[in-house]
Structure 1
Amino acid sequence: MSRVYPYPLIAKEGWPFIIGSLVLSILTAIWCGWWSLPLWALTVFVVQFFRDPARDIPTGPEDVLSPADGRIVVLEKTTDPYRGVNALKISVFMNVFNVHSNRCPIDGKVERVDYFKGSFLNASVDKASVQNERNAVLAVTNTGRPVTFVQVAGLVARRILCYVNAHDILHRGNRYGLIRFGSRVDVYLPEDATALVAIGDKVRASSTVLATLPLHAPPAAAYAPENGANSVDNTTEQADMVKEATDRAAVAAQHVLSQE
């Protein structure tokens, strides 16, 4: 497992909020004393919200990692609305106390990124997947399997940040975005994926394996047996030709000896 995570422990997106709440807390403490305690509590909450710790990162090529901290609220066979194909859907709901940094679930490449405006319903309900503001990343793994992961805004979350674009290379565990103050991430996998989580399970971004994908042989490998068969056929044909020539030589030699 890899622990390489080239980011600070506090997400850079949080510093304006942290500094603002800290300054307000200090000024209130100077003028109002103990009445500033609620603001200090708010400062602590903002700091913990934007924490961004390093995690163990499984390296199995067939593993699909959780893109977010939270709890599994959906695990079902359905249709990937962004690709129009059958899929296994796994949804992770993040409350305000979870780490909200979103991390790449796979090694692969981004095909496209689609953003949709929408409502701000409670992110834990099913209809949030299609009615809320959301940002979908359509990617393909290094083994050629399509995976779609979607940031969905929630009741409190009003800001989706995504830092990847079409044709970008993805590395599992790396940050690709953040959703502020409560939200969810939907992951759509090929329908032959095997889920390793259940509804209600608590998961951690990058370190929890959501599912495994069967590895498909690359196209070139599909022709290997045929090429191998051709090689065997050619070798057999050459052996037959050598045997035939040897037999003819033996017959000729026997004929010459009989004449003598």
Structure 2
Amino acid sequence: MPLPTTPQKPTSVQPGGGTCMAIELAWARFRKFWLRKLCPGYVQRMQAKRVGECPNCPHDTIDSRDLKYTRNVCGYSFKPEDDPYAYRNRLGFARHGFAEMLLFTLAYVLLNAGFASLFWAVGLPWLSLLPFVALSLVELEIITFFRDPERAIPVDPHALVSPADGTITNVEEVEEPELGKVLRISIFLSIFNVHVNRCPFDGEVTDVRYFPGAFLDARDPECAVRNEQLWIDMIVPSPPTPLAAEEGRTGRPIRVKQTSGKIARRIVCWLKVGDQIKKGERIGMIKLGSRTDVLIPAGSASEVCVKVGDKVAGGATVLLKWV
């Protein structure tokens, strides 16, 4: 299979940009301007709590909110105990969907107010219930789309878990650039699924590449080559099996692909080269319907635990067990 397009190194956790991201970044610039004007003591305290290094840092980082889109390219971070906004990671919703939820909710309120005023003005107030119900269904879908539930991660050291919620659409061997023959398991995420992606196995990130592209339906076979996507390459430790010991094998490659869809056009991934990731740990998300693939070297699985049509839960469903 050829590379989709010329790969790029991500310049943010959401390399495809987007309107909501642009609005949020504009708000961040406004917020930081006034923080420096009105709360210089807070700015100094937070800058003193930064850890890590970012020589000649181009990112204007005051507190953890400013790392939301740059944590994969900025060397600064904050310890959880020094982060006054760490609670946002425990609200049950994906932090990278807060802007979308806020903007859609604002539109929901304004549109309902507008329709109510219109129908009251013409003496038909009961008709305002129709747009209210329709808009409420859309608002409910937006809110539930960005939910981020906790998951019980399987402890079996041989188990590789699903990187996403959704439906299995492919379980097949294919040729993959740089990896050769691989087993590919593809998961389609509808707009009703949780869209947070999770790491399928413990490992170290060796490469992260972003490929601009088209936005075909995620169920279209061509989307694997033509759509916008992001590849995460990892080296994972070989499970403690007799065969691994016999071959002297200490690690093997895994590739996770986040692929955009017809509706989903915003891939989010905050990993960077060198990150040590645990099985089931959150690694990103794809907004509003998409596809996620996991690829391992052919012959590495002793048992494939899913088939086409199965429903899976990210971080919880076992896809296969290693040889």
- TM-score range (shorter-chain normalised) is 0.7 to 0.9
Question: Matches of residues 31-110 of structure 1 in structure 2 within 5 Å?
Answer: 31-33=114-116, 34=128, 35-81=131-177, 83-110=178-205
Once residues 201 and 53 of structure 1 are traced to their aligned partners in structure 2, the CA distance between those partners, rounded to angstroms, is 20
Aligned to 1:187: 294
Equivalent residues, number: 208
**Equivalent residue in structure 2 for 1:197, among 306, 317, 320:** 306
SS in 2 for 1:145: strand
Q: Name 1:247's counterpart in structure 2.
A: none
Q: 1:118 aligns with which of 213, 216, 223?
A: 213
**Counterpart residue number, 2:33:** none
Whether contact under 8 Å (2:174, 2:184) holds in the other structure is yes
> Aligned partners of 1:79 and 1:31: how far apart in 2?
55
Check whether the contact 1:129–1:186 (CA below 8 A) recurs between aligned residues.
no
Question: What is the Cα deviation at residue 80 of structure 1?
Answer: 2.2
| Stretches of structure 2 lacking an aligned partner (at least 5 in a row) | 1-88, 117-127, 239-250
Q: SS state of the match for residue 205, structure 1?
A: coil
The match for 1:174 among 276, 281, 284 is 281
RMSD over aligned CA atoms reads 1.4
> Identity over aligned residues, as a percent?
37
Which residue number corresponds to residue 103 of structure 2? Answer: 20
Unaligned runs of at least 5 residues, structure 1: 1-5, 215-260
Deviations 1:42-95 (A, max 9, x none): 2111001000101111011221110000000010111222x2311111000001
- For 1:19, the aligned partner's letter is L
Residue-by-residue CA offset, 1:203-226 (whole Å, 9 max, x unaligned): 010110111112xxxxxxxxxxxx
Larger Rg: 1
CA distance in 2, matches of 1:176, 1:7: 16
How is 1:129-148 mapped onto 2 (pairs within 5 angstroms)?
Answer: 129-143=224-238, 144-148=251-255
Counterparts in 2 of 1:129 and 1:31: CA distance versus 1, 3 Å: closer
- Given that 2:179 and 2:297 are in contact with CA atoms closer than 8 Å, whether structure 1 keeps it comes out as no
Distance 1:125 1:29, change over 3 A: closer
**Alignment match, 2:92:** 9
Report SS of the residue matched to 2:142. helix
Q: Displacement of 1:7 after TM fit?
A: 4.2
Q: Which moved more, 1:17-26 or 1:167-176?
A: 17-26
